Structure 1
Amino acid sequence: MDRVHLNPPPAADVAERADVHAVAPLLNCLLREVAEPHGESGGRRVYRLPGSDRLLRVLGERRPAEPEVRTDGTWRRIGHTELVKLVADELRRHTGLSNHELPAEMIDSRDAVAALLTARARATPPDDLYLRSEQCLLTGHPHHPAPKARGGGPVAAWLPYAPEAHARFPLTLLGLREDVVVEEGDTSALDALGEAPPGYRLLPAHPWQLDLVGPDLAEAFADGRLVRLGTTGFDAWPTAAIRTLYAPERDLFLKFSLDVRITNDIRRLWRHDLLKLRPTDTAAATALGACDGPAAWLGDRGYRTAGFAFEELAVLVRDGLRGGLLPGATPLLAAGLVEGFEGSPLADAVDPAAWWEAYLAQVVPPALAAFAEHGVVLEAHLQNTLVAVDTDGIPVQALFRDAEGVKLLPDVSRAAGWERLVYCLVVNHLVEIAGALVERRPTLDPWPAVRRELARHDLPEIPDLLSAPTLPGKTNLLLRWTGADGADARYLPLPNPLAGA
């Protein structure tokens, strides 16, 4: 980690702040997916939990806080631990299913936040504004029950690699015997990371992943299929995705497998995704390259791995920032703009309405054009979108990433692709940016500008999007409770702010 500060925060303060960070997304899930609105009380919104017929009230809307339950005619405040028990009981009644894993993940997520808060008090955020935006996500996904869970392992095992703790570290370098190398695409950047002995190719490894799968590789190290070559002479910075690292000196992103459940999935580079990487990446690059405007695609150039540990040791090479970035522009993670970081242009916008219109003009057209003209469904959510700003903090470019999340028509139906695009772009992305703006400028109505931007595009789905009473909201809580595949998105209807704008 970086430079050290003295005087860590008191344990009681850390515990209280960790509860606040962990309660908000869990409540968001419960209120979106299960609870029923039940009026107001004491200036707070009240909800009925239909499984148990209990009443719950919360403070605030976008990031609900201070949950209270109605007991013996009075409201009683509950903390995160009791909220987890309440949610688990409600879900058992609601679904008829038990799940002992998810409550443990909820507790792990909250405890991870406490560890991150303590670590951040001792570390200095990066000077680079882009890296700061990637490493600011203490709350994380605002509609996931356990957004900061780290697989239940000891803090010492994962904290040195946590972006939220402003970590940076060298990559482990392995030599992979040439006869067991499996690769596709352009992986030449890997060969420049060091020097491999004759008969071997360089294979960088995430040190946390190597700790996780190390025992399974003992035979490969013993018989010489793998050799250890030390570490890189430079640091890589973990981005918000945790397993994707950025090496500024090389302007290179590397995405690794990580055998840890983070949000909905075990974060391996799965074989089936890697095998379809090239056509998907090519389609996304072609679609964005044809756009009328400065939008860019951060291409996934290729991957390298070991034939005997295809998923475990896979590394994916992704384009850096400099090749596609407008001169003088600063890229920022959209999710970081929502959560907030020192120097964020969203917080400092002098004219928030003009800033918002500029933001929409960069983000919306390329996502819609890719779908309409090329059948490419970008996963244009907050964590896969970078928004570049000029020296005045005004958005001037959008950069999209992650071929793994891209869907192509007709591999999915047009209706399913459109639903996914609306969820990623509108519900997960624009709703959250709009909420962050309104929180700072309560007089701003963000939705007429969104309507105007969408209406400029000649897609047959747009009129219905602008008039439909609901939008699709992903059900992360129910998805995890029922044990559904993380890629098997399930949606429920949410009120559509566009319809009344």
Structure 2
Amino acid sequence: MDRVDLMPPSDDVGRRADAYAAAPLLNCLLREVARPLPGSGEPRVYRLPGGRLLRVRGGRRQACPEVRVAGAWQPLGHADLVKLVADELRGHTGLSNDELPVEMTDSRDAVAALLTARAGATPPDDPYLRSEQSLITGHPYHPAPKARGGGPVAGWLPYAPEAHARFPLVLLGVREDTVVEEGDTSALDALGTAPPGYRLLPAHPWQLGLVGRDLAPAFADGRLVRLGTTAFEARPTAAVRTLYEPRADLHLKFSLDVRITNDIRRLWRHDLQRLRRTDTAVTRAFAGIGPPAAWLSDRGHRTAGFAFEELAVLVRDGLRGHLLPGATPLLAAGLAEGFDGDPLTGAADPAAWWEAYLRQVVPPVLAAFADHGVVLEAHLQNTLVAVDASGTPVQALFRDAEGVKLLPDVSRAAGWERLVYCLVVNHLTEIAAALAERHPGLDPWPAARRELARHDLPEITALLTAPTLPGKTNLLLRWTGADGADARYLPLPNPLVGA
């Protein structure tokens, strides 16, 4: 189901796209630079850095923005909101940025294209894939979560998870003397047949279209050959460049030379070169933690030496070997956004459901940190929660070694700050808010406090008593041109205090 608080009462795609795109942009603006006026009720009034007043309605997804002009409230469409944000940030930071406003507009236009495509598309029957392909809003605290690099819609829509896309992979043969690989890549050889002297390399058709011109010499001299396409169709997951092939129960992560949220989504050489060390450390940690918690291993990668990053593909575990019998995995981000049949909406006892959720998600993350020096990137998009036949959470599965940090590569303090942001601010706060929104009267934070307090870490006392938690500043990060991996935090009110 498509959700935006206070959706305009119209089926017009343009107005719906404006509402979807405005919600995360407003969330960023209000979190990072605006200040609420004391005593303002609903709608809430904020003062912007330049002195203007902004009024919004809604709860966890802000909506219906209005700016005060000449003593009256003037509604803002998405284009007006983008201009307002850019004006405020120029004054607030002293910096100009011509790129981000374009991305904000691109994100809104992408939402319009996705809404149109979804109206004529058939959602997958598999609840796991439905959850992966449900994110129309996307990251709730990013100014342009659905931007797709500014290219024409026809170039990216066939590969969009939000449009319920499915497509075959392109199969390439890479001359054996140019192959670079590490770890277990045997699953790739089962996708087709390579001619003598070549190794099989699947390619994402979108990425191949983006970098194809640069590969022309390799096709010309025989280092690369085209071998057709797979007999099966893969499904893009929420990460866009990571695909799931249900028949083989296999995840494949590709390079994609497109900026999505904060980064160009290439498989960068430096990340691939440290992947085995990181994944081995996490795999060992989960062996120590034990079931039912599970880690989806990034078990190996393969590429061509002459196009190391452009053609890299990473092999990730599937689901079936990790799941409890009868359990159905669901993307945590999909639970926060909502989709047809999600168990959070239909929970008969939401308090018990939430306690079960916390029991599965929180302990493995804390144990990995405390006992094994592993900082999981346990945010909404890297966490799967498996539910039983009644919809009750019974297992958590975590993924993406690229985002994992190891102690002492980072200090314990820096690792803990990242853990708190990913697990509590990005993840638990969103699930708690979605649960409270769908089940009015429920206060989710006492249960969260009890679960965290069960764990004997020296940092827990401060977590439960500190007035603030670290919130990532995606709007300012993008406006100032900081590296996407250079997280910057600002203090947010801590809902655990006094819960």
Q: TM-score per shorter chain, which class?
A: over 0.9
Counterpart of 2:351 in 1: which secondary structure? Answer: helix
Counterpart-to-counterpart distance in 1, 2:209 and 2:338? 32
Counterpart-to-counterpart distance in 2, 1:223 and 1:40? 71
Q: CA deviation at 1:285?
A: 1.1
Are 1:16 and 2:4 matched, yes or no? no
1:203 match: 201
Counterpart-to-counterpart distance in 1, 2:202 and 2:438? 43
Counterpart of 1:138 in 2: which secondary structure? Answer: coil
2:37 match: 38
Counterpart-to-counterpart distance in 1, 2:310 and 2:77? 38
Counterpart-to-counterpart distance in 2, 1:89 and 1:38? 21
Alignment of 1:86-485 (within 5 A): 86-485=84-483
2:72 match: 74
Q: Which digits, 9 at most, give the CA deviation of each residue in 1:74-101, with x for residues without a partner? A: 1111111000000000000000000000
Counterpart of 1:204 in 2: which secondary structure? Answer: strand
Counterpart-to-counterpart distance in 2, 1:81 and 1:500? 40
Counterpart-to-counterpart distance in 2, 1:258 and 1:495? 36
Q: Which digits, 9 at most, give the CA deviation of each residue in 1:124-171, with x for residues without a partner? A: 110000000000000000000000000000000000000000000000
Figure out how many residues of one structure are paired with residues of the other and give that number: 491
Q: CA deviation at 1:353?
A: 0.1
Structure-2 change in CA distance of 1:11 and 1:437 (3 Å): closer
Q: CA deviation at 1:61?
A: 2.6
One-letter amino acid matched to 1:83:
L
When normalised by structure 1's length, the TM-score is 0.97
Counterpart-to-counterpart distance in 2, 1:475 and 1:154? 29
Q: CA deviation at 1:42?
A: 7.0
Counterpart-to-counterpart distance in 1, 2:10 and 2:191? 41
Contact 1:236 / 1:247 at 8 angstroms: preserved in 2? yes
1:4 match: none
1:5 match: none
Counterpart of 2:252 in 1: which secondary structure? Answer: strand
Q: CA deviation at 1:334?
A: 0.1
Q: CA deviation at 1:500?
A: 2.1
Q: CA deviation at 1:288?
A: 1.5
Q: CA deviation at 1:195?
A: 0.2
Counterpart-to-counterpart distance in 2, 1:341 and 1:432? 15
Structure-2 change in CA distance of 1:42 and 1:33 (3 Å): closer
Q: CA deviation at 1:286?
A: 1.1
Counterpart-to-counterpart distance in 1, 2:412 and 2:223? 45
One-letter amino acid matched to 1:374:
H
2:28 match: 29
Structure-2 change in CA distance of 1:467 and 1:41 (3 Å): closer
Contact 1:40 / 1:46 at 8 angstroms: preserved in 2? no
One-letter amino acid matched to 2:139:
H
Counterpart of 2:458 in 1: which secondary structure? Answer: coil
When normalised by structure 2's length, the TM-score is 0.97
One-letter amino acid matched to 2:29:
L
Counterpart of 1:461 in 2: which secondary structure? Answer: helix
Contact 1:18 / 1:113 at 8 angstroms: preserved in 2? yes
Q: CA deviation at 1:39?
A: 3.6
More displaced stretch, 283-292 vs 300-309: 283-292
Q: Which digits, 9 at most, give the CA deviation of each residue in 1:301-348, with x for residues without a partner? A: 100000000000000000000011111000000000000000100000
Contact 1:39 / 1:47 at 8 angstroms: preserved in 2? no
Counterpart-to-counterpart distance in 1, 2:248 and 2:35? 51
Q: CA deviation at 1:40?
A: 5.5
Q: CA deviation at 1:292?
A: 4.5
One-letter amino acid matched to 1:27:
L
Q: CA deviation at 1:60?
A: 1.5
Counterpart of 1:458 in 2: which secondary structure? Answer: coil
- Alignment gaps of 5+ in structure 1: 1-9
Q: Which digits, 9 at most, give the CA deviation of each residue in 1:423-444, with x for residues without a partner? A: 0000000000000000011210
Counterpart-to-counterpart distance in 1, 2:42 and 2:23? 18
Contact 1:172 / 1:231 at 8 angstroms: preserved in 2? yes
Q: Which digits, 9 at most, give the CA deviation of each residue in 1:217-264, with x for residues without a partner? A: 000000000000000000000000000000000000000000000000
One-letter amino acid matched to 2:16:
R
Counterpart-to-counterpart distance in 1, 2:438 and 2:38? 26
Counterpart-to-counterpart distance in 2, 1:442 and 1:159? 37
Q: Which digits, 9 at most, give the CA deviation of each residue in 1:56-79, with x for residues without a partner? A: 010013100000000111111111
One-letter amino acid matched to 1:257:
S
Q: CA deviation at 1:289?
A: 1.8
Counterpart of 2:169 in 1: which secondary structure? Answer: strand
Q: CA deviation at 1:293?
A: 3.8
- Alignment gaps of 5+ in structure 2: 1-8
Counterpart-to-counterpart distance in 2, 1:41 and 1:332? 38
Counterpart-to-counterpart distance in 1, 2:474 and 2:360? 28
User: Which runs of at least 4 in structure 1 moved beyond 3 Å after TM superposition?
Assistant: 39-42
Over the matched positions of the two proteins, sequence identity in percent amounts to: 82
Q: Which digits, 9 at most, give the CA deviation of each residue in 1:181-226, with x for residues without a partner? A: 0000000000000000000000000000000000000000000000
One-letter amino acid matched to 1:413:
S
Counterpart-to-counterpart distance in 2, 1:421 and 1:146? 24
Structure-2 change in CA distance of 1:309 and 1:292 (3 Å): closer
Contact 1:39 / 1:45 at 8 angstroms: preserved in 2? no
Counterpart of 1:337 in 2: which secondary structure? Answer: helix
Counterpart-to-counterpart distance in 1, 2:443 and 2:59? 16
Q: Which digits, 9 at most, give the CA deviation of each residue in 1:448-494, with x for residues without a partner? A: 10111001100000000000000000000000000000000000000
One-letter amino acid matched to 2:338:
G
Counterpart of 2:12 in 1: which secondary structure? Answer: helix
Contact 1:305 / 1:314 at 8 angstroms: preserved in 2? yes
Counterpart-to-counterpart distance in 1, 2:345 and 2:118? 21
